[in-house]
Amino acid sequence: MRITTKKPALLLLFAVGLAGVLHAQELSYSKSEITQRTQQIPAEATRSVGTLAAALTDGLAGDQAKAYAIYSWVAHNLTYDRLAVENVTTYASLEEVTNEALSKRMGVCMHYAQLMDALADEAGIPSLVVSGYVKSDREIYKIPHAWNALKIEGDWFLFDPTWGSGYFDRSTKLYRQEFSEKYFKVPPSEMIKTHMPFDPLMQMLNYPRSASDFVSGSPPVDSIYLDYAAEVERYRMLPEKQQLAETMARMEKQGFANEMVQDHYASLRHQHKIHLANEQVLLHNHAVYKLNDVIDDYNKYVAFANSHRSNSDDEVSRKQAWLRSIEQDARAVDAMFDTLTVTTDLQQNLYTNRKNVKELLNTIANEQKRLREKRK
């Protein structure tokens, strides 16, 4: 029996490009040389994340230079898709988002962020995609946004390749492609002025801001100290299901400040449920695999018993020992089925397989009874 598992679906969240008030970084290498290098990469090197990451970063010393090459290429080469802003697209995996960004060279914030994350990962730079919402002055934008966190030389910094690629001109209602370094390697204390993560941990601050702090621009008042660096490292090591659970717990504690936060929480909850369901499918399939082994073992016993019809004590004892072993394995499988949470997808299969186990146990019991009678 084979059951196809479901992959968590990703609900993309979109945002328009905006200009902010952040400060360019002083770098110890020539940014113009790196930008020129990124513009000379041959087309064949851009067909996969692996080859592109190598072309962008080979020969560069240090993660900061590599991160700049990645940021520059993504911001220069992707075009913001204004027509997609009002649409919601579902993808089977994050890899699909990355591949679409690379092949179409067009997308929304998630495409920029996922591609930068994938390239950073290939380059060996610790990276996370951050989802949240943004503001200009005190105006909260109604469309969610995505950006990046990269660990450079031991510290976490924030990057927004979408905003770094251009901005939305309100006077003309057009998106203008205009590269900016303002959103490269931004300190968390600066980024929080315009970017609010859904997950408080992703602020990368020792004293996380509340939603009201973010809107007002005020420093935190009742915030409790958080060793975010250690907590982020622990978080990164967790399996995805646990990451989802902990993110939801932090969001619950923070509160749902607006509809975007609520929608993101609902999306995480849905993904978490799918993980739980897939986990049950895997456990069920493992139990079915073991059940088939037990049935196969019993069939071998039947073949042996049919070819060895002696009623000697040694022969009967051998058969009884074999049956006890099969019975023990069958009960172990039954216990596996007991631990499963019944879902709609599994209900009929679980019922059928538990019925098969009980029928096998009854058959074994009848055979054991027959052997006992032979020894009388």
173 and 289, same domain (yes or no)? no
Say what the pLDDT of residue 171 is. 80
Say what the pLDDT of residue 10 is. 33
Say what the pLDDT of residue 249 is. 98
Say what the pLDDT of residue 162 is. 96
334 and 201, same domain (yes or no)? no
Report the pLDDT averaged over residues 159-170: 91
Does some domain include residue 286?
yes
Say what the pLDDT of residue 29 is. 60
CA distances from 284 to 7, 57, 176, 222 (A): 17, 45, 53, 47
183 and 313, same domain (yes or no)? no
Q: What is the pLDDT of residues 24-75, one digit of tens each?
A: 343 446 888 898 888 889 999 999 999 999 999 998 989 999 999 999 999 9
200 and 293, same domain (yes or no)? no
247 and 281, same domain (yes or no)? no
Does some domain include residue 266?
no
Report the pLDDT averaged over residues 272-287: 91
Pick left, alpha or beta for residue 66 (phi over 0 → left; psi -120 to 50 → alpha; otherwise beta).
alpha
Cβ–Cβ < 8 Å for 123, 70: yes
Say what the pLDDT of residue 25 is. 42
Cβ–Cβ < 8 Å for 168, 160: no
Report the pLDDT averaged over residues 303-329: 92
Q: Residues near 235 by Cβ (< 8 Å), separated by ≥ 6?
A: 201, 243, 246
Does some domain include residue 227?
yes
Does some domain include residue 5?
no
141 and 184, same domain (yes or no)? yes
Q: How many CB atoms lie within 10 A of CB 268?
A: 21
155 and 282, same domain (yes or no)? no
- Give residue 376's pLDDT band: very low, low, confident or very high (50, 70, 90): low
Say what the pLDDT of residue 148 is. 99
Say what the pLDDT of residue 252 is. 97
Report the pLDDT averaged over residues 148-166: 97
Q: How many CB atoms lie within 10 A of CB 252?
A: 10
**Parent domain of 127:** 10-254
Report the pLDDT averaged over residues 299-312: 91
Say what the pLDDT of residue 259 is. 96
Cβ–Cβ < 8 Å for 186, 108: no
> Please, which residues bridge with residue 159 across strands?
148
Q: How many CB atoms lie within 10 A of CB 147?
A: 30
**In the chain, how many domains are there?**
2
Task: Return d(Cα 217, Cα 299) in angstroms, integer.
Answer: 73
Does some domain include residue 123?
yes
Say what the pLDDT of residue 309 is. 86
Cβ–Cβ < 8 Å for 161, 75: yes
Q: How many CB atoms lie within 10 A of CB 230?
A: 9
SS3 label, residue 155: strand
Q: What is the pLDDT of residues 104-134, one digit of tens each?
A: 999 999 999 999 999 999 999 999 999 999 9
Rounded to the nearest 10 degrees, how much is the dihedral formed by the CA atoms of 203, 207, 212, 213?
-100
170 and 50, same domain (yes or no)? yes
Mean pLDDT estimate for the chain? 88
Task: Return d(Cα 27, Cα 36) in angstroms, integer.
Answer: 16
Q: Residues near 149 by Cβ (< 8 Å), separated by ≥ 6?
A: 127, 128, 130, 156, 157, 158, 159, 202, 204
- Give residue 20's pLDDT band: very low, low, confident or very high (50, 70, 90): very low
Q: Residues near 31 by Cβ (< 8 Å), separated by ≥ 6?
A: 68, 72, 181
80 and 138, same domain (yes or no)? yes
CA nearest neighbour of 272 among 60, 8, 5, 13: 8
246 and 358, same domain (yes or no)? no
| DSSP string computed for 61-109 | -SHHHHHHHHHHHHHHH-EE-GGGTT---EES-HHHHHHHHHHHSEE-H
Is the pLDDT at 79 greater than 70? The verdict is: yes
Q: What is the pLDDT of residues 220-278, one digit of tens each?
A: 888 899 999 999 999 999 999 999 999 999 999 999 999 999 999 999 999 999 999 88
CA-angle at 160, arms to 135 and 73, nearest 5° = 150
For residue 130, how many C-alpha atoms fall within 13 Å in the half-sphere facing its CB?
29
Task: Return d(Cα 12, Cα 144) in angstroms, integer.
Answer: 9
239 and 309, same domain (yes or no)? no
